[in-house]
Amino acid sequence: MTRPLPPRGSRSARADAEAPAGARPRTTATLATLAAVALLASACASTPAPAGSGDASTTAPAPAQVQAQERPATEAAAHAAAGPAEALPQVELTPQLMFQLLASEIAAQRGEVGSAAATYLSMARQTRDPRLARRATELALVERSLDHALPAAELWHELSPNSPIATQTVESLWISTGRLDEAEPLLRARLAKARADHRLTEAYAQLQRALVRSPDRKAALSLIERLAAPDQGVAAARLALAAVAHAADDTGRAAAEAEAALKLEPKNEDAAVAAARYVAQTPRGGAGAIALLESFLVREPKAIEARFSLARLLAADGRSDDARTQFETALKQEPDSPGILFSLAQLAWQTKQPKVAEDYLRRYLALPAQVQRDNDPAYLFMGQLAEEAGRTAEAVDWYARVRRGEQFLPALTRRAVLLGKLGRVDEARDLLRSTSVGSVRERVQLTAAEAQVLREAGRDAEAFDVLAQALERNPENPDLLYDHAMAAERLGKLDTMEKSLRKLIALRPDNAHAYNALGYTFAERNIRLDEAQALIEKALALAPNDAHIIDSMGWVLFRRGQLAGAVEQLQKAYRLRPEAEIAAHLGEALWKSGRTDEARRVWREASAREPGNKVLSETLARFKIAQ
């Protein structure tokens, strides 16, 4: 069972168009039209990337990009009234310019965001209108391209030097591309203004978020040391220093700075939580962090986040009862807190108390409607608990309640697999095939689930066909290549299996499981053992602590008659993951080594944990051992 996800909030934003300054009658009309188009552009500022344009896991922007992208939306209103009036150029809205504006917006809506950003940037350079430069920046950030966003943001800042939004955007982009020297004067000026306005806490929080994402973390630490030199008596400055030091892997400095912040402001909960997090990573360890938070909570017993952090540290230290006491104390203070109830459910599950976990989740789901929360993680968690308890129909019902969002696909695929277990294979396939998704990656997940449903129903040939058809549409998809190879192996199509795995290795030479699958297949069939061992050694070099790869190494050594080495590797794998298949291999190696009592003990333990495991049952049958 995968670790249940905590409930999360959502955030949305909309960028506001900057109002044009007045001008001559004809130009005013022209600029008014431009402003209307700019408003249209602003409304589209969150134009999504086109569906299926890529895997979110590989195309997601760096956090600094996201931060820069959000600022125009979230801070526009704050600065619209306070900021100085912007001098806008007198631009005649020619038919050609109007066509380019509208064509760019249509292109953006069709998913051609890069083209739209380039056109806006070209128009901004031609007209020197900062609204067009801003729109070019926004679109380039939606495209998740620093190469396109940076020149657009630089032009926007050049044309709107007094715009806080433009300044902060170009700052973030310079920082995220490692151009700290260029960002430093702007950051220094921003901090000077914040000192004058008594807004240093907010300014350092923004600076911290940007600098921890710099590609050169040590240079970022040097930069914030220079910038924060006048503010050593400001807790926010010391916390920012701590965060950047931690990002630069200087945990000792991070802990010292956070504790200095806490000393400056003994009631500052953020400082206490940060100090505990960093102290836990120093030689003082979890014990030091726990002592720090316990001391803080004596002074501030209502500090919920600090109590949460203490509970997590206690749980990580194996002190589950103490952790639960802290969560329950927090729950008494906030009885309708979704976060506390969900955390208690997680803790109960981790300590193997599924009934207690269910009770907390039911309390979570029964909270009053006005309590803001996301029920989907709880539905997914309840489904997992019901599935583990063997209540398959109930689990299907819980999974069916999960709506579109982060938990939707995991819930949908588990629902389909369980429908298959209930004998409703065609219903499961229809569910997977009729679900619309927005990317190739998500479609591949549904295809893999369909193949699993068929495989578990004993319809291996159909599973292979489903994967083969998907592979024709996406011939270089790594997940499909791997699943296709495994389906081919189950049908004895070794040439097909090897061809898919070899192609996967060529595409992803760092894919340890591809090397392992091919090497283990050879070892299992007792063929090409030299090549099998070389492949598994390559896999082990890439993933040295993977129990399944270590098991493969033990098994190929067993096939080669190297019993001592085989037992050593298989024992190591079994310690890491005491699974039935590894137990079957280890028992056989022990038996052949004359250690029959040890073999019987390993097999007996595995049979008790996983009764009916096919590989273990076949092994015991060969050795005529009763289960």
pLDDT at 153: 83
The dihedral built from the CA positions of residue 397, 401, 407 and 408, taken in this order, carries a sign that is positive
pLDDT at 495: 96
Give the residue extent of every domain in the chain. Answer: 35-46+59-77+92-177, 531-627
For residue 397, give every residue at least 6 positions away whose Cβ sits within 8 Å of its Cβ, in sequence order, or none.
none
3-class secondary structure for 401-431? Answer: CCCCCCCHHHHHHHHHHHHHHCCCHHHHHHH
> What's the gap between Cα 437 and its chain centre?
19
pLDDT at 102: 84
Candidates 272, 241, 50, 252; CA nearest to 144 is: 50
pLDDT at 145: 67
- 3-state DSSP assignment of residue 54: coil
CA distances (Å), origin 111, targets 53, 102, 139, 431: 8, 14, 11, 28
Measured CA to CA, the distance from residue 464 to residue 490 in angstroms comes to 9
> Tell me: the pLDDT tens digits for 375-392?
999 999 999 999 999 999
Candidates 156, 135, 150; CA nearest to 73 is: 135
Measured CA to CA, the distance from residue 164 to residue 79 in angstroms comes to 7
pLDDT at 578: 94
User: b or e along 559-585 (b: 16 or more beta carbons within 10 Å of the residue's beta carbon)?
Assistant: bbebbebbbbbbbbbbeeebbbbbbbb
pLDDT beneath 70, residues of the chain:
1-87, 145, 627
Measured CA to CA, the distance from residue 363 to residue 367 in angstroms comes to 6
> Tell me: the pLDDT tens digits for 563-609?
999 999 999 999 999 999 999 999 999 999 999 999 999 999 999 98
Candidates 172, 248, 238, 153; CA nearest to 210 is: 172
Measured CA to CA, the distance from residue 322 to residue 477 in angstroms comes to 47
pTM above 0.85, yes or no: no
Q: 4, 346 in Cβ contact below 8 A?
A: yes
CATH of domain 531-627: 1.25.40.10
Say how many C-beta atoms besides its own lie within 10 A of residue 365's C-beta: 15
pLDDT at 267: 94
